[in-house]
Structure 1
Amino acid sequence: MAKVIAHIKEVPFQIEIKTPTGNIITADEPVEKGGKDTGFSPKELLTASLSACTLATLRMYINKKGWNIPEIKVETELIEMDGKTLFARKLEFLSTVDEDQKKRLILVANACPVHKILSGTIEIETELI
């Protein structure tokens, strides 16, 4: 389970997000939407979550296999069009990776937990406390 507590005060759109263990990040809207661009936008946070999970999942798999792949980059873009949302994700392995490894690593990337959540049925329940 994941849990965060988000809090906004009087600065327009500047949001402090905390985990129960004390990690803190700032979210904000871009200047053109009335924010001050002091942190990730909500959509950037969602996109970053997929990127981070992809990289962590790949690193776990690569380490388990003992492959010499010291660095991986992922570029993820959230694209909205015609009522559809697309996450365009590009992986870059900064070392030699053979074709069989590439195929396996794409399957592993697609198996990361956040990918599974975003690909599945999502329900959101809201209540006042």
Structure 2
Amino acid sequence: MRTIIATIGKQTYKTELQARNHIVIADEPIEVGGQDLGFTPTELLESSLAACSTMTIRMYADRKGWSLDKVEIKVGFKRNIATHQITFEKEIQLFGDLDNEQREKLLEMGSKCPIEKMITGNVVVESRLL
């Protein structure tokens, strides 16, 4: 199992996230009591989806030898409190010499990234105290 270690001290909301030899700071905006030192947890989730989708599109285009110069994906989400439905929205821009068929295939491939499969699948979180 790959492990992310999250550590918070006495500083309100500032959390260090460590994966292997990389550290990222998560925090909350000032208006909710944080110091705005890093991504919010929601932004980290949105970032995971955006990064995974861009990487998947890049890998597929490279494998096919297509002329994809750049991919830019904006991710946000909407929460319906009444139905408990969460909808992630991805706006994908593809830059390069691509025809419509290639563009549609890359759009499809972007939805097949592992993170999207995780968040749209049957997810269970198991927690235990150590």
The interval holding the TM-score normalised by the smaller chain is over 0.9
> What is aligned with 1:52?
51
Contact 1:8 1:15 in 2 (8 A): yes
Where does the alignment leave 5 or more consecutive residues of structure 2 unmatched? none
**Structure 1 counterpart of 2:128:** 127
User: Where is the strand percentage greater, Structure 1 or Structure 2?
Assistant: 2
Superposed, which structure 2 residues align to 1:57-76 within 5 Å?
57-76=56-75
**1:61-102, CA deviations, whole angstroms, 9 ceiling, x for partnerless residues?**
011011111111000002112321111001001223211012
Q: Which amino acid aligns with 1:23?
A: H
Kept in 1, the 8 Å contact 2:66–2:98? The answer is no
TM-score by length of 1: 0.95
1:78 is the counterpart of 2:65? no
User: Is the Cα contact below 8 Å between 1:17 and 1:26 reproduced in 2?
Assistant: yes
Residues 100-124 of structure 1: per-residue CA shift (max 9 Å, x gap): 0121111101100000001100001
8 A contact 2:94–2:103 mirrored in 1? no
Higher mean C-alpha deviation, range 1-10 or range 23-32: 1-10
Runs of 4+ in 1 over 4 A off after TM superposition: none
Aligned to 1:100: 101
What is the distance in 2 between the residues matched to 1:74 and 1:96?
Answer: 18
Given that 1:14 and 1:38 are in contact with CA atoms closer than 8 Å, whether structure 2 keeps it comes out as: yes
Aligned to 1:114: 115
Q: TM-score, normalised by structure 2?
A: 0.94
Report the more deviating stretch, 9-18 or 91-100.
91-100
Looking at structure 2, the residues matched to 70 and 30 of structure 1 have their Cα atoms a distance apart, in angstroms, of: 34
Q: Is the 8 A contact 2:14 2:35 kept in 1?
A: yes
Letter in 2 for 1:87: F
**Unaligned stretches of 5+ residues in structure 1:** none
Equivalent pairs counted in the alignment come to: 128
The alignment's C-alpha RMSD in Å is: 1.0
Asked whether the equivalents of residues 27 and 37 of structure 2 are also in contact (C-alpha less than 8 Å), the reply is: yes
